[in-house]
Amino acid sequence: MLISEMSRQECCDLLARLGFGRLACAHQNQPYIVPTYFAYEPEHLYGFATVGQKIEWMRLNPLVCLEADEVRSLVQWSSVVVRGRYEELPEKPGYDSKMRQQAEVLLRKRFMWWQTGVAAARTREQSNRDIPVFYCIHIEKVTGHRASRDRRPYRYRTSRASVPSVVTA
Protein backbone atom coordinates (compact mmCIF):
# COMPACT_ATOMS: atom_id res chain seq x y z
CA MET A 1 0.00 0.00 0.00
CA LEU A 2 1.29 3.44 -0.94
CA ILE A 3 0.06 6.53 0.89
CA SER A 4 0.31 9.90 -0.82
CA GLU A 5 -0.67 13.39 0.25
CA MET A 6 -3.74 15.03 -1.24
CA SER A 7 -3.72 18.62 -2.45
CA ARG A 8 -5.87 21.18 -0.67
CA GLN A 9 -8.26 21.21 -3.64
CA GLU A 10 -8.60 17.42 -3.54
CA CYS A 11 -9.32 17.60 0.19
CA CYS A 12 -11.99 20.24 -0.30
CA ASP A 13 -13.58 18.29 -3.15
CA LEU A 14 -13.85 15.23 -0.90
CA LEU A 15 -15.36 17.25 1.96
CA ALA A 16 -17.91 18.78 -0.41
CA ARG A 17 -18.87 15.39 -1.80
CA LEU A 18 -19.06 13.39 1.44
CA GLY A 19 -20.86 15.72 3.84
CA PHE A 20 -20.41 13.17 6.62
CA GLY A 21 -17.55 12.64 9.03
CA ARG A 22 -16.46 12.47 12.64
CA LEU A 23 -16.10 15.60 14.70
CA ALA A 24 -13.81 15.77 17.73
CA CYS A 25 -13.90 18.38 20.45
CA ALA A 26 -11.96 18.47 23.72
CA HIS A 27 -12.55 19.60 27.29
CA GLN A 28 -9.71 19.67 29.80
CA ASN A 29 -7.65 17.72 27.27
CA GLN A 30 -10.21 14.87 27.12
CA PRO A 31 -11.19 14.40 23.45
CA TYR A 32 -14.68 13.35 22.40
CA ILE A 33 -15.84 12.17 18.95
CA VAL A 34 -19.26 12.01 17.34
CA PRO A 35 -20.35 11.18 13.80
CA THR A 36 -21.78 14.26 12.13
CA TYR A 37 -23.25 15.62 8.93
CA PHE A 38 -21.85 18.85 7.56
CA ALA A 39 -22.06 21.14 4.56
CA TYR A 40 -18.85 22.35 2.99
CA GLU A 41 -18.17 25.87 1.80
CA PRO A 42 -14.74 27.27 1.00
CA GLU A 43 -13.10 28.09 4.36
CA HIS A 44 -16.11 26.80 6.36
CA LEU A 45 -18.05 23.75 7.36
CA TYR A 46 -21.60 24.17 8.58
CA GLY A 47 -23.24 21.81 11.05
CA PHE A 48 -26.35 21.31 13.11
CA ALA A 49 -27.11 19.67 16.47
CA THR A 50 -29.23 20.06 19.55
CA VAL A 51 -27.63 20.89 22.88
CA GLY A 52 -25.62 18.00 24.33
CA GLN A 53 -22.07 17.22 25.36
CA LYS A 54 -20.63 18.09 21.95
CA ILE A 55 -22.18 21.56 21.85
CA GLU A 56 -21.43 22.22 25.52
CA TRP A 57 -17.77 21.32 25.07
CA MET A 58 -17.39 23.33 21.85
CA ARG A 59 -18.86 26.34 23.62
CA LEU A 60 -16.17 25.98 26.29
CA ASN A 61 -13.34 25.22 23.85
CA PRO A 62 -13.78 26.13 20.18
CA LEU A 63 -10.80 24.08 18.94
CA VAL A 64 -12.12 21.14 16.91
CA CYS A 65 -11.00 18.52 14.43
CA LEU A 66 -13.10 16.85 11.74
CA GLU A 67 -12.16 13.73 9.81
CA ALA A 68 -13.98 12.49 6.70
CA ASP A 69 -13.03 9.48 4.66
CA GLU A 70 -14.00 7.30 1.76
CA VAL A 71 -12.94 3.67 2.11
CA ARG A 72 -13.15 1.53 -1.03
CA SER A 73 -11.00 -1.27 0.33
CA LEU A 74 -8.26 -1.85 2.89
CA VAL A 75 -5.70 -0.50 0.43
CA GLN A 76 -7.78 2.09 -1.41
CA TRP A 77 -9.04 4.95 0.66
CA SER A 78 -8.91 8.71 1.13
CA SER A 79 -8.97 10.52 4.45
CA VAL A 80 -9.15 14.26 5.10
CA VAL A 81 -8.47 15.91 8.46
CA VAL A 82 -9.63 19.46 9.19
CA ARG A 83 -8.36 21.48 12.13
CA GLY A 84 -10.80 24.26 12.83
CA ARG A 85 -12.54 26.65 15.19
CA TYR A 86 -16.17 26.39 16.29
CA GLU A 87 -18.51 29.35 16.07
CA GLU A 88 -22.16 29.16 16.99
CA LEU A 89 -24.68 30.82 14.68
CA PRO A 90 -27.57 31.88 16.90
CA GLU A 91 -30.64 33.77 15.77
CA LYS A 92 -29.90 36.88 17.77
CA PRO A 93 -29.37 40.51 16.86
CA GLY A 94 -25.68 41.25 16.58
CA TYR A 95 -24.73 37.89 15.13
CA ASP A 96 -24.06 37.22 11.48
CA SER A 97 -27.52 36.22 10.31
CA LYS A 98 -26.23 35.77 6.76
CA MET A 99 -24.03 32.88 7.84
CA ARG A 100 -26.91 31.33 9.78
CA GLN A 101 -29.16 31.51 6.73
CA GLN A 102 -26.42 30.10 4.55
CA ALA A 103 -25.94 27.22 6.99
CA GLU A 104 -29.65 26.38 6.90
CA VAL A 105 -29.83 26.54 3.11
CA LEU A 106 -26.79 24.32 2.67
CA LEU A 107 -27.77 21.82 5.35
CA ARG A 108 -31.29 21.50 3.98
CA LYS A 109 -29.78 19.92 0.90
CA ARG A 110 -28.60 17.03 3.05
CA PHE A 111 -31.34 14.44 3.29
CA MET A 112 -32.72 14.25 6.83
CA TRP A 113 -29.81 16.22 8.26
CA TRP A 114 -32.05 17.46 11.05
CA GLN A 115 -33.24 14.06 12.18
CA THR A 116 -30.04 12.88 13.82
CA GLY A 117 -29.86 15.94 16.04
CA VAL A 118 -33.52 15.83 16.97
CA ALA A 119 -33.54 12.10 17.62
CA ALA A 120 -30.40 12.37 19.75
CA ALA A 121 -32.01 15.12 21.79
CA ARG A 122 -35.11 12.97 22.21
CA THR A 123 -32.90 10.26 23.68
CA ARG A 124 -31.36 12.69 26.12
CA GLU A 125 -34.79 13.97 27.15
CA GLN A 126 -33.64 17.52 27.55
CA SER A 127 -35.92 20.46 28.18
CA ASN A 128 -34.33 22.35 25.29
CA ARG A 129 -34.12 19.29 23.10
CA ASP A 130 -35.99 20.72 20.15
CA ILE A 131 -33.94 23.87 19.81
CA PRO A 132 -31.61 23.53 16.83
CA VAL A 133 -28.08 24.82 17.17
CA PHE A 134 -26.47 25.84 13.91
CA TYR A 135 -22.73 26.26 13.88
CA CYS A 136 -19.83 26.98 11.62
CA ILE A 137 -16.37 25.46 11.72
CA HIS A 138 -13.77 27.85 10.37
CA ILE A 139 -11.21 25.72 8.53
CA GLU A 140 -7.74 26.60 9.75
CA LYS A 141 -5.81 23.69 8.27
CA VAL A 142 -6.79 20.82 6.01
CA THR A 143 -4.67 17.80 5.13
CA GLY A 144 -5.49 14.58 3.33
CA HIS A 145 -3.97 11.24 2.47
CA ARG A 146 -4.86 8.72 -0.18
CA ALA A 147 -3.93 5.05 -0.14
CA SER A 148 -3.45 3.00 -3.28
CA ARG A 149 -1.99 -0.35 -4.20
CA ASP A 150 1.79 -0.60 -4.24
CA ARG A 151 3.40 -3.51 -6.05
CA ARG A 152 6.88 -2.86 -4.71
CA PRO A 153 8.13 -5.48 -2.23
CA TYR A 154 8.81 -3.92 1.11
CA ARG A 155 10.95 -5.15 3.96
CA TYR A 156 9.33 -4.72 7.34
CA ARG A 157 11.92 -4.39 10.10
CA THR A 158 11.07 -6.14 13.33
CA SER A 159 12.70 -8.19 16.01
CA ARG A 160 9.82 -10.62 16.12
CA ALA A 161 9.63 -13.53 13.73
CA SER A 162 5.83 -13.53 14.07
CA VAL A 163 5.40 -10.56 11.70
CA PRO A 164 5.87 -11.10 7.94
CA SER A 165 9.27 -9.83 6.77
CA VAL A 166 8.20 -8.96 3.21
CA VAL A 167 4.76 -7.69 2.30
CA THR A 168 3.12 -6.42 -0.84
CA ALA A 169 -0.31 -4.94 -1.29
User: Interface with a second copy by CB under 8 A: which residues?
Assistant: 1-5, 22, 24-35, 61, 63-67, 69, 71, 74-75, 77, 79, 81, 83, 91, 104-105, 108, 111-112, 114-116, 118-120, 122-123, 130-132, 145, 147, 150, 154, 156-160, 162-164, 167, 169
User: From the CB of 147, what's the least distance to a second copy, in Å?
Assistant: 7
Q: Which is nearer to a second copy, 16 or 167 (CB)?
A: 167
SS3 68: strand
Give the nearer residue to a second copy in terms of CB position, either 41 or 132: 132
Asked if residue 36 lies in contact with residue 120, where contact means CB atoms within 8 angstroms, the answer is no
- For residues 144 and 11, the answer to whether their CB atoms sit within 8 Å is yes
The CB-side HSE value for 48 (13 A sphere, CA atoms) comes to 30
CB of 155 to a second copy, least distance (A): 9
* Burial class for 48, CB neighbours closer than 10 Å (0-12, 13-18, 19+): buried
CB of 42 to a second copy, least distance (A): 22
